[in-house]
Every structure is written in C-alpha cells, then in structure tokens.
Chains A and B, each alone.
Chain A
Amino acid sequence: MNIEQKKDGKALVLAPEGRLDTMTAPQLEAALQEALPGVEELTFDFEKLEYISSAGLRVLLSAQKTMNKQGAMKVIHANEMIMEIFEVTGFADILDIV
C-alpha cells in the first residue's frame, strides 16, 4: 500500500491509498511508529482510501490514544463508506472528523 507522508514541523499528514485492511494495516502502523514521536498535529487524509477494516480501525484507535497525550489528531476527506463504518463502530464520536 502506498502511504503519502507530509511533515511540516510538528504537523504530520498521512494519506494512505487503496484499502486499509488486515494486509495493509501493519504498514500504516509501522509508518506511524516511525513518524509520530514529536508530532503535535496529526492529520489522516483519506481522500484516496477506499475502505477501512477493523484492523485499520485498530491502528486509528491506537494513534488517537497516543495523540491524546501529545497533541491533536483529525481525519479529513473520509468517503461515504468509511463514514458509515465510523458511525457503526462509534468511531465517529472518538475521532475528530472534518
């Protein structure tokens, strides 16, 4: 999976492409582990993401927990299908979705 990263000082934007599922979630997790220290403003840009599975949700939840300690996190450009998953699983209440 291709994950586009943009770092600007303490702000980080991550834009995964395709499907965030069992196979690809570990890649995003690894990318976060590497880039997250010192980040105070994390943004997930889901413009090119098709869908997200429970494995992807796991990564988002763990990122949110980390950012709760060191700054803020938001999700942008989530499509209808992903929004639906957020709604169903209650993630819509946890995440800051713009």
Chain B
Amino acid sequence: MKNANAYPNRWKKGKPIQRPKQHVTVKSIFGVIVPLVLFSVIVSIIGYRTFSNALLNQYAEGAFLTAQTAAELVDADRMDEYAQSGGVTPEYMAVWDRMDHLCNTSGSTFIYVIVPDRSDYRHITFLFSTIDHDSSYTKYDFGFVRDTTNDEYREKYKALYDLEADRELVIRDKGNIETDSHITAMIGLKGADGQVKGILCVQRQMDVLAAERNTFLNKVALALVGLLLLVIVGQGVYLHRVLLRPLNLITEETARFSRENRAAAHKLRETIRNRDEIGQLAASIDHMEEQIDTYITDITRITAERERISTELSLATRIQAAFVPHLFPPFPDRPEFSLYASMDPAKEVGGDFYDFFLIDEDHLGLVMADVSGKGVPAALFMMASKIILQSCAMLGHGPAAILTKTNEAICSNNQEQMFITVWLGILEISTGKLTAANAGHEYPVVRKAEGGFELFKDRHGLVIGAMSGVRYREYEIQMSPGDKIFVYTDGVPEANNARNELFGTERMIAALNQDPGAAPEDILKNVRRAVDGFVEEAEQFDDLTMLCLEYKGVQAKPARELTVDAAVENIPALTEFVEAELDAVDCPMKAKMQLTMAIDEIAANIAQYAYAPGTGPVTLRFAFEEETRTVTLTFLDKGMPYDPLKKEDPDVSLSAEDRPIGGLGIYLVKKTMDSVAYEYKFGRNVLTIEKKLS
C-alpha cells in the first residue's frame, strides 16, 4: 500500500517562487504620484498666473493712485506757463518740490510730466522730473527732449491725447530693456476744455513684485513636495497593509501548498481579514486547498484500491489456471491412454474449464464445461462447479448420476441464476468403455480406429443450474486402441473473424482431420492454428478450451513391474529384475551399476521406513524409451507419505569425526541419476528416477 504522499509525484515538486522583480506598491504609488505631480504643476501654473496678475494689478493701481495724486499738483491749464518758466519760477518750484516729496514717499522711482511732440509723438519734452533719491536714476533736466522709447509709449501717448483712454500702463519686464523691469502708469493731464495738455507718468520698479512672486513660488513648491512625500508614505503604508501583505501571504501559501500538497493548519482567511477582492481570493484559495486535499486523498485511495483489485484479479487468473490440471503428460505411468488439454481465456478470468482425474486405478474422469457469463462471477461459479463435479465423480457413480447430483447441489444455492453446460465422460481404462452424459454442452467429436473425426450427436440434457429435479441420461462409446475423443467449448466453433463469420463445426472437424492420427497435443495445436488462421485480426471473443483423449488400450505396452514385500531381503529380487531388463536393452556396465545402486538405496529406505513398524508392498516399474535411450524406474509404496527429496543434502566437506552416519543414500541417487521426482498420488508414494543410457 503506497502512502498518501507518495502517489502524485508530479504534484510533488512545486516550482520555487521567485521574488518579483517589480513591486505592486511601487507601481501603484507611481500610478498615484505621476497624475498628482501633473495636477500640482497645472494648479501651480494657474495659481502663479492668477497671483501674478492680481499682484500686478494692485501694483499698477498703486502707481495710478500716485499718478492721480501727482496730477492734482499740476495745473493742466498752466502747462504753457510751466514750459516757459525755465524751471525756476517759484510757482514751478513749489509744484516740483511737492512732486519730489510725493515721489520719495509713495515708493515710486520716477514721477515726471512730459509733453510729446504731437505731430508724430516721436519726441517728448520733460516739464517736471522727480526721482527717488535712493535709486540709481538721475532726473531729466527741465525742458529735456528725448526720443520716445518705443512704439508702445508712442501709441499710448497718442491714445491719451486722442482721449481714447484716461490712463495707460506700460509694463517693461521682458524683452531687451536697458533698465530694471518696471511699470509706468500714465494719465493725461486735462485742461478745463477737456483736452489733454500733458502726460503725467509714474514709474515703479518691479523688484518688489518679483520678490513677492518668488516667495509665492517657493511656498507652493514646498507645499507640493510636502504633499508628495505625504502621499508616497501614506499610499505606501496603506497599499502594503491592504494589498501587498495579503498578496505575499497568498503567494507564500500557494507555493507551500504546491510543495507539500497538504492543506494549511491555519487558513489564509484567519490572517487576511480584508473584505475586498483580496479577501475573496484568500477564501477561494482556502477552499481550493481543501478541495485538492480531499481530491488527493480520494485519488490515492482509489488508486490503491484499483491496484489491489488488479493484483487480486491476476492472482485469481493464476489460481484459476492452476486449478485445472496443467502438467502434461498428466499420467506418465499410464500407457493405456494419452491425454492433452488447453485453456485460453478471452478475458483475464473466464468460465470455461476442462478437468480430468483418476477416480480409481481403472477409471478416468473427463470433464468439459462452460459457465454462462464471463469474468470473476463466471470464474467463481466455475471453481464451485469443478469441485462439486469432481467430488460427485469420486463417489464412484456413473456420469448421469454425477450430473444429477451436481445439478441438485448447484440449484440449491444458485441465486444468481447462473448455469453451466457440462460434458462428462468416464473411461474404463481396462476395457476402453467410455460412459458419458451431456448437460447442454457441445457434441463431442469421436475418431474411430483409422477413420476420421466425426461429430457424435449425443443426447443433450438440460444445462446444470437451470432447475432442480432434472434427470440426465448416459450413453456408452466403446473405444478401441487408437480411438480418440475431442471435446471443446463453444469458443471453438463460435470463434469470430473480422467479417463476423463463425469458425463453425465443419471447419473444426476439418482441422481435426488434418492429421487424425497425430498425438492429442498435436491435434489441439492443429485446431488452434486453424482458429487463429481464420480469426486473423479479430479479438478473441470467447474462451478457447479443448481436450483430446487417445485410448491406447491395455495391451499396448504393459509396463514391466515387480511387486514385493518392502524388506531388505527382497532388494536383490528388485535389482535382479531391473538388471535383466537392462541387459535386454544393452545397458553399459557403469549405468547398470549406478541404477542398481539407486535401487538399493531407494528400496532400503522404503523397506526400513515406509511401513515401520509393520510392512507392506513395494512396486518397481521399469520403462525404457527407445528413442532417447532413457530408463525410467518408478517406485510405488502405500506407506506413510514421505518425500525423500525434501531432505537437505549432507555436507560432504565435513571431516570423518563430524560426519553423521547415514543420509548419503538419496544424495548419491540424485548425483548419479538424470532426474529424480517424487509425488504422492492416489494414496501412494511415487518416486520416479530417470537415467539416460549413453
């Protein structure tokens, strides 16, 4: 019985789990971070723009406010007067002083009043010009004329003069500028007639603005980085707890399971309490492990069971095969008849059988039978039937009585309604009278004298096992020396070929008549060959069982034998009888000596032990096979069963002192004869020795 773990070898070796090269956590964090960064950058840019614009507007408003205040200082209707003052009149000076004060207290860099050349605004004339004393600028002198800086200024001057706008703003923070970035707020100075008489400009440096913007940017960047770190750590921890740790547990568990093939002591669900898909996965794996565990146990058990059944089946086949006599020739010491039988089951075990046995010295029982059905049930039924038939036969009744008794015995316990067809014959060896009865079996085939085999249409009785109370009838066939009888089961005439044709009785008889004079063994071989040739490719469907008996008659070759009382004094009589026979076949001196010695050893044994303390007969049978020049001596005694061959050979290497006295006799026989065989048959010890005469 194999143990539960040994069987499914291919499940045994789980692939080692490799550490993943990429981690889910890292992946999912990246999945969060990248959009987050993108989002942050977009938000920052929008925020920066908005903040920047708001700041600039505020800054510009401040400049305009200063410009408004400064404009109050200047009287637009008196612009001409200012222009002609030469910049030295007290009135002008008063205005300049206050403007200068305003410039230094309002955070402006430059406050000035200009009158552009109205023809094309390409030149401007400075009327007032004040600067922040802390700045690096120098003021323009009164009446200083310079080129307009660029077209933007020009257009805006023109817009103010044309009254298209009350105020204009120029931002100079990029491009090729000669000074630091700055804004210039300009408003038109309107006279009482509503016309613009000059332009008042306030310039503020943008460095404060830039500083503010930088601070904003720094703060935003800092906040972003902080947020990112927070998200990375938070997401990492969260993912590790809810995703990675359970996943790792599941991976380890599946690896362990594939290695050990045993469900875990602790379920995954005990440690993974997620109520999400991971939790479901863990529960599924727990369930799967249990199922596989059960499955493995089941399949191991089933496999062991199947192996056991298969072993038992083949054992059954062997027992069945051994149960019918299968040693041929079966009765070498009976020259009156020759017998051969064969059985080839279609399946592992079948229901056909033959049987033969000596009922007594003068009666040979022959059985050919076929159990309905196949397989183990048929085999079991066959075993029971064979035993019952032989037991009934041994009681010494005729075939009809045997079949009747067997039928009664089987019917009394035949709940499965199985039945068996039987042909039973009993040969009286001394006279050649064959008495037979047929219980639903195939017709026997008989060969008379020098003729051919012919179907013998005997009377059929009902099959055995069908119903009780059936009476069978028997008939006689007188066998003469050379006559043969062939019996078989339906597997022979009903053998099928690929074209679904039956072998048939005619073909069978033709096969028997190929060489009707052949020995029984060759007769069966002829039939078998004919069936095989006919069936060709088709699978053997039914059992093939055959038996052939040749009656040779008592006068054929009576064995030469001598029966004496088993006593040491009678040994010379036995040796002399054999010596005379040996002389007749021209036996060499040495073989004769060895045979004589063998007789001495065996006969002495029988005389001393077989009937001790009483006495009884011993028979020595002599036979000589011309062809192989083999002498066969058979010793028969009715003493207590004893197999001398079972005795262990003596140790021939011991010294004289250690040698036990005796035990050498049978050893010497074994050493000098070609074969020595023992059996206990019909209440007799039968010891047969063979010696080939060179």
* A residues neighboring B (CB under 8 Å): 19, 21-23, 50-51, 53-55, 57-58, 61-62, 64-65, 68, 80-81, 85, 88-90, 93-94
Contact = CB atoms under 8 A, between A and B. Distances in A.
Interface in B566-603: 568-569, 571-572, 590, 593-594, 596-597, 600-601, 603
15 contacts: A22-B604, A23-B568, A23-B571, A50-B593, A51-B597, A53-B601, A54-B663, A57-B664, A58-B662, A61-B656, A65-B656, A80-B590, A85-B668, A88-B652, A94-B655
Contacts of A50: 593
A21 B593 CA distance: 11
B319 to A, nearest CB: 41
B597 A94 contact: no
Contact of B652 (A23, A51, A55, A90): A90
A90 B661 CA distance: 13
Contacts of A51: 593, 596-597
Contacts of B667: 54, 88-89
A89 B590 CA distance: 18
A89 B664 CA distance: 7
Contacts of A53: 597, 600-601, 604, 665, 668
A41 to B, nearest CB: 17
B557 interface: no
A65 B651 CA distance: 17
At the interface, is chain B mostly helix, strand, loop or mixed? Answer: helix
Nearest to B664: A54
Contacts of B652: 88-90
B659 interface: yes
B215 interface: no
Contacts of B672: 88
B537 interface: no
At the interface, is chain A mostly helix, strand, loop or mixed? Answer: helix
A33 B166 CA distance: 172
Interface residues of B, number: 31
B657 interface: yes
A92 to B, nearest CB: 9
Contacts of A65: 656-657
B659 A88 contact: no
Given A21-B571, A50-B593, A81-B594, 8 more contacts: A21-B597, A22-B601, A53-B601, A53-B665, A54-B668, A68-B657, A80-B590, A88-B652
Nearest to A64: B656
Contacts of B179: none
Given A23-B568, A53-B600, A53-B665, A68 B593 contact: no
A65 B654 CA distance: 13
B653 A22 contact: no
B671 interface: yes
Given A23-B572, A90-B654, A94-B659, A54 B601 contact: yes
